Structure 1
């Protein structure tokens, strides 16, 4: 009787081992959903935001360009090589703050190339590449304003961009500190600049680099100024399907190789050097070095 139980236990262990090995092999042989789609359709589809200069924007001639767009064009070239598909097509689809996560999970786009903030909460829905930029929330005010902090905004209006990490963080902070600030949300970043210039709001709160990009296009940039105080930490990264680990490896490998080379500084000079000290060059150089992961 004792021997019978031992044999049954051994058989159960053997069965469990076989099942585990089967699923492990199946998992190892399963194709990455993003790479499989790219190979099947012969298309690499980039999702972009049209209002996130200098990361992604539409030029007056109708072209899509920006720092993040250049990164994804490099990934496109890497895909052609790694998948042995020299005729791979590149497509671009505009996304919004509302639909970008749905577009990734539905397979409408393969990657989001813009100014996307990497958070642990968002990582429950999508995956992220290595960091592409580091910034934080700041305030833009009129040049003659005496506003230097959130407390100075008591009894006043502040504009923010709808659907952003900055908007979520600042809303919670203002509520936590019980500050009497009326928040006005704008769907498009340039709407906030117009409201500030027209004195409809007293401050515009957004990621520093986005505010600088908006200043570049403002009708009277000298009438506006940054308060030079960060209110959050905002890391940017490229977004794609959460389970696509092979695709992530390809994306991260390209970025790490880029960061190890002089090409990263060429991209910095192309998109950020004109901003001078406002570009946070030292922080970005450190980011490049820290993510220069060896092969």
Structure 2
């Protein structure tokens, strides 16, 4: 009878569906095992930024440097030793604020070494290594603009970068209440700074070190100033795939050792208080008290734990 095969058909359909779910779960688990992926391929892909201040930037020609790139390189060298690999090929892939999380999740990159804020929302999608830098969000303006405070931004154009949290912090700041400004978006940090440099924006709101780094590399650094109130304090960390404890523990142990030995502080000094390429100009940002506290008491707490009271 035509109806006699229906139960069997349903069972086969359910079985196929379950097998598909199991296969998908297995694939996700495999993708999350960064150690195994590195062992199998002998390579790792580092997500880097082209203009994230002294944390991560390009010198051109496929060369990327910065504080976080040095830290990631040390962590990956330790992974290579743990896996007993005679050689580890490190590939660099520039990412942006808007694509860095998807590219990490889908396995295009294996570790992101840029300027990403660790916050509770992102922790639902990815994992973060120990905090290595605690950022203050500020505004940069032209030195002759007369702007000294957030309250003077009414009627002005304020630049920020797609996929970042800076303008959200600006809008929530108590001194921004009633301040009506127009938001203009840059594709990346360099593009946002160009909006300010070219006069298409009156201010650029972003991490202070990103602002300082772009100012230091500009044609005439004296034309710009970082002014106004601290809009927010955010922990910046190397970003990793979620649910991959073995890889996270390895990266964390490398960073913890560097914090304890003083190597972290020495590397910070190299990138933030001494002249750096390409312009051989110093960013001139000594470590903040909050950054030193993060080194003294290693943690991966989100930005919400740093909320100003």
Query: TM-score of the superposition, structure 2-length normalised?
Result: 0.79
1:287 offset after TM fit, Å?
A: 2.2
1:136 offset after TM fit, Å?
A: 1.9
Give the conservation status (yes or no) of the 8 Å contact 2:155–2:180.
yes
Corresponding residue SS for 2:236 = strand
Q: 2:75 matched to 1:75?
A: yes
Give 1:285's aligned residue. Answer: 292
Give the conservation status (yes or no) of the 8 Å contact 1:193–1:218.
no
1:233 offset after TM fit, Å?
A: 1.4
Unaligned runs of at least 5 residues, structure 1: 1-29
1:247 offset after TM fit, Å?
A: 0.7
Give 2:186's aligned residue. Answer: 186
Alpha-carbon separation, structure 2, partners of 1:194 and 1:103: 26
Alpha-carbon separation, structure 1, partners of 2:284 and 2:76: 32
- Between structure 1 and structure 2, the one with the greater Rg is 1
Alpha-carbon separation, structure 2, partners of 1:282 and 1:230: 14
Q: 2:273 matched to 1:266?
A: no
Alpha-carbon separation, structure 1, partners of 2:61 and 2:110: 25
Corresponding residue SS for 1:92 = strand
What is the CA deviation profile of residues 150-185 of structure 1, one whole-angstrom value per residue up to 9, with x for unaligned ones? 2111122111111112133334559x8342111111
Alpha-carbon separation, structure 2, partners of 1:206 and 1:292: 23
Give 2:247's aligned residue. Answer: 247
Question: CA 1:92 to 1:60, structure 2 compared with 1: closer, same or farther past 3 Å?
Answer: closer
Question: CA 1:94 to 1:61, structure 2 compared with 1: closer, same or farther past 3 Å?
Answer: closer
Give the conservation status (yes or no) of the 8 Å contact 2:136–2:231.
yes
What is the CA deviation profile of residues 163-219 of structure 1, one whole-angstrom value per residue up to 9, with x for unaligned ones? 112133334559x83421111111122233333233322211111110000111111
Question: CA 1:282 to 1:84, structure 2 compared with 1: closer, same or farther past 3 Å?
Answer: same
Give the conservation status (yes or no) of the 8 Å contact 2:98–2:163.
yes
Alpha-carbon separation, structure 1, partners of 2:102 and 2:204: 28
Corresponding residue SS for 2:185 = strand
Alpha-carbon separation, structure 2, partners of 1:183 and 1:292: 34
Corresponding residue SS for 1:145 = coil
Give 1:169's aligned residue. Answer: 169
Give 2:238's aligned residue. Answer: 238
* Structure 1 runs, 4 residues or longer, greater than 6 Å off: none
Give the conservation status (yes or no) of the 8 Å contact 1:129–1:248.
yes
Aligned Cα root-mean-square deviation (Å): 2.4
Give 1:203's aligned residue. Answer: 203
Alpha-carbon separation, structure 1, partners of 2:217 and 2:52: 12
Query: TM-score of the superposition, structure 1-length normalised?
Result: 0.82
Corresponding residue SS for 1:131 = coil
Alpha-carbon separation, structure 1, partners of 2:288 and 2:218: 23
Corresponding residue SS for 1:58 = strand
Give the conservation status (yes or no) of the 8 Å contact 1:159–1:184.
yes
1:102 offset after TM fit, Å?
A: 1.3
Corresponding residue SS for 1:230 = strand
Give the conservation status (yes or no) of the 8 Å contact 1:257–1:292.
no
Give 2:100's aligned residue. Answer: 100
Give the conservation status (yes or no) of the 8 Å contact 1:256–1:292.
no
1:143 offset after TM fit, Å?
A: 1.3
Alpha-carbon separation, structure 2, partners of 1:59 and 1:192: 19
Give 1:17's aligned residue. Answer: none
What is the CA deviation profile of residues 1-52 of structure 1, one whole-angstrom value per residue up to 9, with x for unaligned ones? xxxxxxxxxxxxxxxxxxxxxxxxxxxxx88611121111121221111121
Corresponding residue SS for 2:132 = strand
